[in-house]
Amino acid sequence: MGRKKLRLTLEDGQKFRFCVSFSWLRKSDDLYRLQEIYVEVPWKNRKSLIAASLGIFMFCADVEHGA
């Protein structure tokens, strides 16, 4: 049996957080302007799911080379 494919649906605040974090690139070397991001998320608020999805994105679809 195949697994059911589920989509990750982000809330508005989560979308804003990721857009701000990944939308700024330096023109000189095409690296992200923000090198570290600190986010506080309340208890039981899908932290593991979001962190895993972010890790997969950074591994597969990231435009920053050599990171």
pTM (two decimals): 0.63
66 has pLDDT over 80: no
Name the band, by pLDDT with cuts 50, 70 and 90, for residue 54: confident
Report yes or no on 4 lying in a domain.
no
Residue 64 confidence (pLDDT)? 66
Name the band, by pLDDT with cuts 50, 70 and 90, for residue 2: low
DSSP 8-state code for residue 2: P
Cα dihedral angle (52, 66, 62, 33), rounded to 10 degrees? 100
67 has pLDDT over 60: no
- Please count the structural domains in the chain: 1
Range of the domain at 34: 12-60
Report yes or no on 25 lying in a domain.
yes
Using CA of residue 52, residue 60, residue 30, residue 24, what is the dihedral sign?
negative
User: Cα separation of 63 and 9, whole Å?
Assistant: 23
Residue 12 confidence (pLDDT)? 92
